[in-house]
Chain A
Amino acid sequence: MTTDMDLQSDAAQLLLQYKAPLYAYIHASVRNRSDADDIFQEVSVAVVESFSKLESEVVFFSWAREIAFRRVLSYYRNYDREKPVNPQLIAVLAEAAERVEQKQPVSTRREKLLECLDRLPEVSRALIARCYDNSGESLGTIAAQSGLKVTAFYAKIHRIRTILRECIAQRLLEESVE
């Protein structure tokens, strides 16, 4: 017999499992990490509260993504009235998130990205870490400390990101061949 407790536990487990693609969808839709955090929390609450309505765990991601879609729309309606969002765009991104998850789970890509970060030369790794380490330092400050002009620094970061994406693609390809 499935108890409410089992259901909650299952919901929490599935949320953890699909956190990355759900979060990526929300982040792509609102493009603000702080707002994405809030929306993800709202989605998590809604998922746990209404998990008993889910007919099959096989469709969990589609179901949770639908909840996220509604929350993102609600976010734009409530907080960004001056910039009305195109609901079609949010729907398109939701479908894209589902396709991405079906083709190649985001968690796999995440794993490859971490591997690729390890393979970067230390100089590049330190540079990209500086950009993402929450230190709050501006591009100008980091550029100055690196002995580069801002435009050159921006270009360098773009190149590192490109290298990382190529590395991810290569590793995913190798894995599919194996």
Chain B
Amino acid sequence: MIQQNDDRLLQEYLDRTLSAEEIHMFEERLCNEPELAERLIKYASDDLVLAEWGAAREQEQAIPEEGPVLSSAARIPSRSNRTVVVSVMTSMFSVLFMLGGYFLYQFFSSTPLISLSEGVVLSSGEPVKNFIKQTLKQGSAELHFPTGAKVLISAPASYEVTGNNSMHLQQGSFIANVPSSGIGFQVDTPHGRVIDLGTLFSVQTVEKLDTRIQVYRGKVIASLMNQSGGIQSSKQVSERHSATIDSAKNEIAEAAVTNSLAEKCGILHYSESVILQENMPDTLATGKYQVFEHDGLAFVFPERMQVTLKSDLQLVAHPSETTAINRAGRISAGTTVDCYRIYYDPAEQEGTFIPVQGEIHFDRPILGVILDRENLTQTDRLFHPLCVGDANRSFVHQGTETDTGGKDPKARYDEVAISADRRTLSFMLLSGERFVDEFRVIVQSPH
């Protein structure tokens, strides 16, 4: 029998704010009162809709006006604000504790399931019509599906959106970040179909050859098509595995994640929290692209290889040292180097800081790292791939906070270290929803 106070009890039960005794009594009633149990299901559904709506509304209000690349930096607070946010967080958690976790729900809520947009849009907000072939000749484009799936397509590519949670990739490659709300995201290629089961994965299609799938997190199901439009076979591709849908051989070949890119980059191995990506999007660290927003995962992009320095390059040679003089290093003019960008952008809700810890082992000596925003900007002309044709282009950087500790090394937010043999880079980056951490690693090029 529904009682007057049941609305409040149901909500507090969902919010986990009832005492152990109250929970016990309430669960007994749930077991014996079918109508009350039905109301709990409805309230749980309402709670989810409200959370999705709230997140979608926030996201919509956060979409900035289109403008020059530099203007988008304004959305990412300066790093000095981090201290303020951390102290605000401390207060918030204290209040949370006192309130018995009424709002704990919010802290654990994830990607919104509802999008205020009705169809697929580009990261700029421009809608993409279904079943219209799109050709991307240069750069990259990020598609946002209403289900929450985000797909970053790299040129050259041709594709079309086929529904609110599906697309066809005729030629080219992409990386997709699909939250649980987008489970079932479907990609058709000339050779088969990939159905996502909530994951981070990439697809590369060469129209007349094959489709390659690489799964970084989660699982996908890959299917090979035969000539009559049916399937030859299907395979589940698991985390850190790759598969090739090969039309010529009529098979899906599965393997552990290929190391060919790593080998090409002179990387012997790297930890599970690190994802090596061949293509670096034009605009990192501006909040423009969301595919690379992932808690606990750092991305490594090869920036430019075989760069011969025309003048000496100042950088940080010993990042674990605390004084500027001990950290400093210099690479002489004439040295040929390779440059990599490490990038970490957690997607957890505002106020939460998520660390990532990783290691990368190179087969060549690491000459140093470029950690702060100013030096990242100054070295763009040398290492940013888009500065090859236009050395004066400017990009927004965030850098790291390895030097924040100053007198107290323990107060550092981010830590970067190079092993004594200079072959291993290790890092611990601490970042939050509105921040990114990024730095460059300079490695000696092979002769």
Contact = CB atoms under 8 A, between A and B. Distances in A.
Contacts of B15: 31
A161 B102 CA distance: 15
Interface string A41-59: 1001100110000000000
A53 B53 CA distance: 36
Contacts of A4: 223, 231, 233-234
A136 B108 contact: no
B131 interface: no
Interface residues of B, number: 74
A128 to B, nearest CB: 7
Interface in A28-43: 28, 31-35, 37, 40-41
B180 interface: yes
A123 to B, nearest CB: 15
B395 interface: no
Given A92-B30, A113-B46, A44 B110 contact: no
A156 B193 CA distance: 50
A67 interface: no
Contacts, number: 217
Contact of A37 (B34, B38, B180): B180
Determine which residue in A1, A100, A128 has the highest number of CB atoms from chain B within 10 A of its CB, and name it.
A100
A24 B349 contact: no
Contacts of B48: 20, 23-24, 27, 33
Contacts of B68: none
A93 B51 contact: no
Contact residues on A (Cβ < 8 Å of other chain), bracket: 35 or more
B136 interface: no
B58 A44 contact: no
Interface string B301-318: 000000000000000000
B38 A99 contact: yes
B184 A16 contact: yes
Contact of A96 (B14, B37, B234): B37
B139 interface: no
Interface string A96-123: 1101100000100110011001000000
B253 interface: no
B99 interface: yes
Interface string B377-414: 00000000000000000000000000000000000000
A110 B49 contact: yes
B50 A28 contact: no
Given A4-B233, A41-B183, A134-B58, 14 more contacts: A4-B223, A16-B147, A24-B44, A28-B43, A34-B109, A37-B179, A41-B218, A100-B41, A110-B45, A114-B53, A132-B50, A132-B55, A137-B351, A138-B95
26 contacts: A3-B231, A5-B231, A5-B234, A8-B195, A9-B195, A12-B186, A28-B41, A31-B15, A33-B110, A34-B110, A45-B197, A92-B30, A100-B38, A106-B42, A106-B45, A109-B46, A128-B54, A131-B50, A134-B51, A136-B89, A138-B91, A138-B103, A139-B95, A141-B91, A154-B102, A158-B11
Interface of B: 7-8, 11, 13-16, 27, 30-31, 34, 37-38, 40-51, 53-55, 57-58, 89, 91-93, 95-96, 99, 102-103, 105-110, 112-114, 147, 165, 179-181, 183-184, 186, 193, 195, 197-198, 218-219, 221, 223, 225, 230-231, 233-234, 236, 349-352
